């Protein structure tokens, strides 16, 4: 298909040296590179020829080490990707079938890995990263007394997992009664006037509105349905969990809540693409995807010295919060969201079958980070397996942009109701 010098097998140490600093591999442990050495070769390109054609499904993935590659998509301008560009930290033209034709330059060097191996390692949970994380200074975060205490309390069961908000728990218990009616749900919600008013406003919002305005809570419940109303009540009650005493912890929780609202709003818009997804559940998933950070931040409230050591707290959150989020969601009866929470920033997570809530969360999370400092280090949204899975719903690069642009009123209105 193309000419190159003799492929060079790679030993684990060389493979780690070439790839470990790249974004795709930067949280991989040494045993991954030892396992990868039998699946990888180094290619020195001897002639500029296409190594992957648009529309082709290849068993290989390529990582650019030196030089550049040209990405050609029918009807689009040629894109040049250099070895030092942020996107070079991820597989080139990752989706299958490929969205681009790939041609390496004459001086290019690439590592070729088997796709089956990459898929295996991306299905393992990887740490997510708290929004606004800072670089950690010298030393290991694991040896810090706060990190040791978090680990100890997790192991002993002393770390307090957030409880399902009381109003949602009461509704769930009442709904087990076979004679449960809309009027019963309305009475339970009315006991919290703020939530009752918000349910009415959301039912009339652009995201959920019908032809006529709902004037009463009963009418809102009829429009939304019992289960969707319960989900929205949980969503509204969850905000009360994001509270703290110390101002610097409050600031972090407020930042996290605003980010969660944005992710939830995007997830709601994407969920409307298919009847397979529940819009209210998608909103709840977006709001709660980092709920595991809450008990860590509550504990940090007792360690005032962490205000001057934000890198320690960021590292603990990045490594411990996803599993705590999954545990919390399982405790709340949302086990189908647990996998999504664990893989919320595992950008290349792949799976069999059709699109699922993990795909919704990953794409929503990437959209939610577009204006953050971290975005330059993130993969292209249209090169992630989650995007490929959602393409079965008719999602494309242009349609993705159009969907979000068309939904700006809905997104803004929903965010104003939740913040």
CA distance 403 to 266: 10
Which tens digit of pLDDT belongs to each residue from 35-84?
888 888 898 887 788 989 998 888 888 999 999 999 998 888 898 999 98
Distance CA 141, CA 147 (A): 7
Q: Is 86 exposed, middle or buried (0-12, 13-18, 19+ CB in 10 A)?
A: middle
More confident residue, 268 or 399: 268
pLDDT tens across 157-200, in order?
888 888 888 888 888 888 888 888 888 889 999 988 988 998 89
Q: 104 pLDDT band (50/70/90 cuts)?
A: very high
pLDDT at 358: 93
Sheet holding 68-72, edge to edge: 79-82, 68-72, 101-104
Q: Measured between alpha carbons, how far is 278 from 289 in angstroms, rounded to an integer? A: 16
**Residues paired with 71 in a beta bridge:** 79, 102
Q: How far, in Å, CA of 296 to CA of 248, rounded?
A: 14
61-75, 117-131, 248-262, 383-397: least confident range: 117-131
Residues 6+ apart with CB under 8 A from 227: none
Give residue 369's pLDDT: 82
pLDDT tens string 384-405 = 889 888 877 766 655 555 666 6
Provide DSSP, 286-338: HHHTTTTHHHHHHHHTT-GGGGG-HHHHHHHHHHHHHHHHHHHHHHTT-HHHH
Q: pLDDT band for 129, please (50, 70, 90 cuts).
A: very low
pLDDT of res. 296: 92
Whole-number pLDDT of residue 211? 65
Largest Cα span, the chain: 75
In this prediction, residue 124 has a pLDDT band, given cuts at 50, 70 and 90, of low
- Across the range 309-334, mean pLDDT stands at 87
Q: Domain 8-122: what homologous superfamily?
A: Jelly Rolls (2.60.120.10)
**pLDDT over 50 at 138, yes or no:** no
Which tokens hold the place of 163?
């409880």
* Pairwise CA distance, residues 397 & 142, whole Å: 40
DSSP string over 238-298:
HGGGS--SSHHHHHHHHHHHHHHHHHHHHHHHHHTT-TTS-HHHHHHHHHHTTTTHHHHHH
- Does residue 86 carry a pLDDT above 70? yes
d(CA 190, CA 202): 15
Picking from 388, 295, 288, 386, the residue whose alpha carbon sits closest to that of residue 338 is 288
**Residue-wise pLDDT tens digits, 184-196:** 889 999 988 988 9
Domain with CATH 2.60.120.10 in the chain: 8-122
If one counts every other C-beta atom within 10 angstroms of the C-beta of residue 211, the result is 4
Is a pLDDT exceeding 50 seen at residue 282? Answer: yes
pLDDT, mean over the chain = 83
Residue with tokens 């041609």: 103
- What's the gap between Cα 83 and its chain centre? 26
- Outline which parts of the chain fall under CATH 1.10.3210: 141-162+242-418
User: Would you state the pLDDT for residue 131?
Assistant: 39
* % of the chain at pLDDT higher than 70: 88
Mean pLDDT of the 355-377 span: 83
Residue 373 scores a pLDDT above 80 = no
303 vs 404 pLDDT, higher one: 303
Q: Residue 411 in contact with residue 405, Cβ under 8 Å?
A: no
Nearest to residue 390, comparing CAs of 281, 262, 277?
A: 277
Supply the pLDDT for residue 125. 61
* pLDDT for position 12: 87
Give the SS3 label for residue 111.
strand
Higher-pLDDT residue of 376, 41: 41
- CA separation (Å) from 83 to 34, 39, 132, 177, 220? 24, 21, 26, 62, 54
Flag whether pLDDT at 231 surpasses 90.
no
Does the pLDDT of residue 137 top 80, yes or no? no
H helices of 139-224, in order, are 145-156, 166-174, 182-190, 193-203, 217-224
- Higher pLDDT pick, 135 / 36: 36
Residues 4 and 44: beta-carbon distance below 8 Å: yes
pLDDT above 90 covers what percent of the chain? 11
CATH topology of domain 141-162+242-418: Hypothetical protein af1432 (1.10.3210)
When mean pLDDT is compared across 189-193, 267-271, 405-409, the lowest value belongs to: 405-409
């Amino acid at each position: 298909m193309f000419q190159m010098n003799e492929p060079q097998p790679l030993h684990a140490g060389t493979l780690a040296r070439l790839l470990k600093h790249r974004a795709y591999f930067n949280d991989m442990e040494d045993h991954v590179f030892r396992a990868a050495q039998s699946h990888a070769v180094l290619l020195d390109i001897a002639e500029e020829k296409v190594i992957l054609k648009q529309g082709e499904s290849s068993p290989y993935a390529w990582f650019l080490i030196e030089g550049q590659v040209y990405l050609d998509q029918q009807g689009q301008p040629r894109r040049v990707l250099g070895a030092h560009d942020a996107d070079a930290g991820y597989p080139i033209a990752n989706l299958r079938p490929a969205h681009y034709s790939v041609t390496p330059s004459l001086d290019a060097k690439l590592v070729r890995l088997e796709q089956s191996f990459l898929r295996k390692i991306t299905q393992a949970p990887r740490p997510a990263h708290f929004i606004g994380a800072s670089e950690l200074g010298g030393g290991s975060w694991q040896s810090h007394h706060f990190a040791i205490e978090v680990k100890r309390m997790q192991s002993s069961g002393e770390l307090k997992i957030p409880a399902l908000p009381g109003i949602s728990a009461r509704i769930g218990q009442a709904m087990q009664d076979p004679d449960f009616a809309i009027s019963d749900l309305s009475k339970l919600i009315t006991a919290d006037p703020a939530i009752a008013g918000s349910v009415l406003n959301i039912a009339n919002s652009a995201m959920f509105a019908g032809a006529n305005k709902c004037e009463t809570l009963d009418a809102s419940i009829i429009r939304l349905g019992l289960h969707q109303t319960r989900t929205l009540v949980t969503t509204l009650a969850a905000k009360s969990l994001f509270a703290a005493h110390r101002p610097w912890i409050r600031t972090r929780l407020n930042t996290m809540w605003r980010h969660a609202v944005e992710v939830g709003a995007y997830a709601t818009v994407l969920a409307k693409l298919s009847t397979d997804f529940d819009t209210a559940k998608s909103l709840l998933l977006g709001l709660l995807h980092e709920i595991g950070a809450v008990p860590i931040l509550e504990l940090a409230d007792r360690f005032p010295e962490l205000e001057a050591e934000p890198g320690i707290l960021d590292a603990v959150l990045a490594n411990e919060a996803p599993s705590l989020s999954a545990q919390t969601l399982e405790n709340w009866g949302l086990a189908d969201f647990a996998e999504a929470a664990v893989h919320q920033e595992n950008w290349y997570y792949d799976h069999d079958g059709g699109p699922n809530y993990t795909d919704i969360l990953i794409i929503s999370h990437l959209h939610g980070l577009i204006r953050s400092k971290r975005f330059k280090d993130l993969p292209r949204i249209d090169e992630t397996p989650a995007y490929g899975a959602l393409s079965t719903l008719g999602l494309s690069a242009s349609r993705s942009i159009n969907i979000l642009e068309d939904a700006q009123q809905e997104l803004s209105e929903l965010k104003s109701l939740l913040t």
